Structure 1
Amino acid sequence: MIIDQVGVVGGGLMGTGIARVCALAGADVVICEADAARAESARARTESSLRRAVAAGKIADADCAGALSRLRFTASLEDLADRELVVEAIVEDERAKADLFAALDKVVSAPTAVLASNTSSISITKIAAATTRPERVVGLHFFNPVPALRLVELIPTLHTAAETADRIERFAAEDLGKLVIRSQDRAGFVVNALLTPYLLSAVRMLEAGFASAEDIDRGMVEGCAHPIGPLSLADFVGLDILLAASTSMYEEFRDPGFAPPPLLLRMVESGFLGEKTGRGFFSYSR
């Protein structure tokens, strides 16, 4: 393998998905969480995901067993010291990510180790500035669900060494079997810079009373052959994630199309975050 020692910080849906695809590809993977209880939850989530994949016929029993043998879970960043690649998949907050990268910079000791962020919208340059190795920092944005979606956005900065970006692209494409596209380091990168205004337009349409949530989604599914409507997609992504992405892009570009609508703000403040909380623009059984 191009990289066979991987660390993932953050054991949520994205972090465990990234860890799963790396372990299935043959990498030795360490997942780091904030404390022992969360590390155990990440273990349970990952094992459950792999066993469901076996039950669905997506992977073989032997592949599942092999991946589980290559996965370790910890609450200590020091356990990532020997990793060749560490992927950050924590909360979408610039300060939190910068603080984590500063800590990883002190811990990860391999001379060619690369630090990558799975952020969907935050400047990689700002995150890399917290380290002493900006030439070995990139954005590596996976899409949810990670095992099912092939796309990965690779975001080098003006500081990123060409060999670093090339190595990570080869790892994602050749080791993980992903489809890699490159983006400049601008808020939202490629996909979210195009997707976010579309989702926000649907929120504004609902907010203005133009149509019901059901009819907005039905219109885009049946009229434009989209696999899912914009409001259902926003619920799936997480309204807090959509708010963070739109805020980040609006702060960078000052384009009104990126400004979060008041309805989105009120829903996030109310804890209505979409599928993960059971209520967003639609209701979900949990």
Structure 2
Amino acid sequence: MEIRKVLVIGAGQMGAGIAQVAAQAGLEVVLNDLKPEFLERGMGTITKNLSRDVEKGRKTEEEKAAILARLHPTTNMGDAHDAQLAIEAATENMEIKKNIFRQMDEVLQEGAILATNTSSLPITEIAAVTSRPELVIGMHFMNPVPVMKLVEIIRGLATTDEVYKTIEVLSKQMGKVPVEVNDFPGFVSNRVLMPMINEAIYCVFEGVATPEAVDEVMKLGMNHPMGPLTLADFIGLDTCLAIMEVLYEGFGDSKYRPCPLLRKYVKAGWLGKKTGRGFYTYS
């Protein structure tokens, strides 16, 4: 199947990034969210990213204008009924995602592929609420989407080979490197990354070291470009907690138990960079 038109649901950090790379790949993109102000913010982010590319000589003004012309923000999902693919990039919550998939299943034409950008939730469970589980697949992009090359592609129990191949080809068209991963909690990226972040939080919680010291050790000693606590703030501590909960529930192993300090920060509304306060303070 050739993908020409894509519906992206969610104009936040991930959704806006996915919409941008899809439009850069020459696809018509319908960007959908609940409120006009969310769409304005998402389109503002995309415009800012493209303007930076023009300033640095990576794109021309004409290319920027052509990319923006392929983006169509709307609060009405029905505007994308003829899309061949929908990519859901909503918050990491199973009930919210299931509800969106029911809507996409109803709105999109027969034969359209439904993808989720979930970072940890089971594809098979999401697919089960649709009438087309064989056309449901995971496309886990990395943040920031326009920069990071990896896309984890996750098959559900019923996903067909043809759907996998279509998404693999499309990922390459979008300038990404697709890697096939099986449908287990956290897939590969977050099954490895999140326990490391959680352990770094335990180091602070138990008084082993300050956040600055933990990050410095991992940057200088392990050659990480960013310390785990800075990265947690960047991802969002609420998202980190949600993924740890999925791992803990999915495997039933105490090694995935979220650190109490992570829970406390989330309850306090200290979610990281997006709220101005996490393990660090942001102006």
TM-score, reference length from structure 2? 0.97
Q: How many residues align?
A: 283
In structure 2, the partner of 1:276 is 274
In structure 1, the partner of 2:145 is 146
Give me the whole-angstrom Cα distance separating, in 2, the residues matched to 1:139 and 1:265.
Answer: 27
In structure 2, the partner of 1:160 is 159
In structure 1, the partner of 2:62 is 62
Letter matched to residue 198 of structure 2: L
Q: CA deviation at 1:10?
A: 0.2
Give me the whole-angstrom Cα distance separating, in 1, the residues matched to 2:213 and 2:45.
Answer: 35
CA deviation digits over 1:77-130, x for unaligned, max 9?
111201111000011100000011001100001x32100000000111111111
Q: Percent identity, please.
A: 42
Give me the whole-angstrom Cα distance separating, in 1, the residues matched to 2:26 and 2:193.
Answer: 33
In structure 2, the partner of 1:100 is 100
In structure 1, the partner of 2:168 is 169
Answer yes or no: is 1:86 the counterpart of 2:86: yes
Give me the whole-angstrom Cα distance separating, in 1, the residues matched to 2:63 and 2:258.
Answer: 43
CA deviation digits over 1:213-246, x for unaligned, max 9?
1111101111111111111111111100100000
Partner SS state of residue 87, structure 1: strand
Question: CA contact under 8 A between 1:2 and 1:170: conserved in structure 2?
Answer: no
Q: CA deviation at 1:48?
A: 2.1
* Higher mean displacement: 28-37 or 11-20: 28-37
Runs of 5+ consecutive residues of structure 2 not aligned to the other structure: none
Question: CA contact under 8 A between 1:115 and 1:136: conserved in structure 2?
Answer: yes
Q: CA deviation at 1:41?
A: 2.6
In structure 2, the partner of 1:15 is 15
CA deviation digits over 1:21-54, x for unaligned, max 9?
0101100000001022322332222222221222
In structure 1, the partner of 2:133 is 134
Partner SS state of residue 169, structure 1: helix
In structure 1, the partner of 2:215 is 217
CA deviation digits over 1:44-82, x for unaligned, max 9?
222222212222333222221110110100001111201
Give me the whole-angstrom Cα distance separating, in 1, the residues matched to 2:233 and 2:36.
Answer: 29
Letter matched to residue 160 of structure 2: A
Letter matched to residue 133 of structure 2: P
In structure 1, the partner of 2:185 is 187
Question: CA contact under 8 A between 1:221 and 1:229: conserved in structure 2?
Answer: yes
In structure 1, the partner of 2:253 is 255
Give me the whole-angstrom Cα distance separating, in 1, the residues matched to 2:148 and 2:35.
Answer: 29
Give me the whole-angstrom Cα distance separating, in 1, the residues matched to 2:111 and 2:48.
Answer: 33
In structure 1, the partner of 2:239 is 241
Partner SS state of residue 90, structure 1: coil
Runs of 5+ consecutive residues of structure 1 not aligned to the other structure: none
